[in-house]
């Protein structure tokens, strides 16, 4: 299981990565529009910060085939590291995925809501697909069923495309896709911070410190001289 940050703030990633074993970053035009600096500056800062094992997913803004191809190549050429180009699942998008795949540019098909969209993306040559978990539910679908179908279909037919689940509202949804066998998830900074926090854990830590201090002359460290 790989866990990525869905965001564009390099400073936030650096802080989280100090204690969370993060596996990369995903961005999209909406995230970049809310960030600090130009879109290019935000992406370049992230690219410089990530190590070789951590992945970066950057989305095109264009919606037409020719412009998607041009933009994907500009992004790839501008970065001195591997990058996955995010392409929306649409007629022009799938056409672009096929062309880019033939040229060795790896893609992440995003905006996936159905199993058949995921199948078509895999057949087009996508390295990843990004199903929108919470948005599937909001659109009166059942994300648990959709994700299970996608994972099982990929296994049955031997697709190499990986599932990078996105758009989560809470950690329960994260656990659900983990149980379904999803390889990777990308999470907002709020959800990432909540992955390891629990009020009972914090209460236990406080109790340990208080108990030790009450017995050993208010000292809160072992082996003091």
The rounded distance, in Å, linking the Cα atoms of 2 and 82 is 17
Active site residue 34: no
The set of residues, in sequence order, having a beta carbon less than 8 Å from that of 125 and lying 6+ positions away, is: 97, 98, 100, 101, 102, 107
Q: Which helix (H) or strand (E) holds 186?
A: strand 184-187
Which one of the listed residues 64, 86, 95, 169 is annotated catalytic?
A: 86
Q: Which two tokens stand for residue 137?
A: 């539910």
Burial call 110-142: b when 16+ CB within 10 Å, e when fewer = bbbbebebbbbbbebbbbbbbbbbebbbeeeee
The set of catalytic residues is: 86
């Amino acid at each position: 299981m790989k866990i990525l940050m869905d965001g564009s703030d390099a400073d936030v990633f650096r802080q989280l990565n100090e204690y969370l074993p993060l596996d990369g970053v995903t961005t999209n035009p909406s995230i970049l529009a809310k960030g600090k600096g130009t879109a290019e500056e935000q992406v370049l800062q992230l690219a410089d910060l990530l190590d070789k094992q951590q992945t970066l997913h950057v989305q095109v803004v264009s919606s037409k085939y020719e412009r998607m191809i041009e933009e994907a190549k500009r992004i790839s050429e501008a970065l001195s590291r591997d990058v996955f180009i995010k392409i929306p699942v649409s007629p022009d998008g799938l056409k672009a995925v096929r062309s880019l795949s033939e040229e060795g540019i790896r893609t992440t098909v995003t905006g996936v809501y159905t199993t058949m969209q995921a199948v078509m993306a895999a057949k087009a040559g996508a390295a990843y697909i990004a199903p929108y978990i919470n948005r599937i539910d909001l659109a009166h679908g059942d994300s648990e069923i959709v994700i299970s179908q996608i994972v099982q279909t990929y296994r049955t037919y031997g697709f190499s495309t990986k599932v990078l689940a996105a758009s989560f509202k809470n950690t329960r949804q994260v656990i659900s896709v983990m149980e379904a066998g999803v390889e990777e998830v990308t999470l907002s900074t709020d959800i990432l911070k909540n992955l390891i926090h629990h009020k009972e854990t914090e209460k236990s830590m406080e109790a340990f410190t208080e108990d030790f201090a009450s017995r050993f002359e208010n000292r809160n460290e072992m082996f003091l001289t």
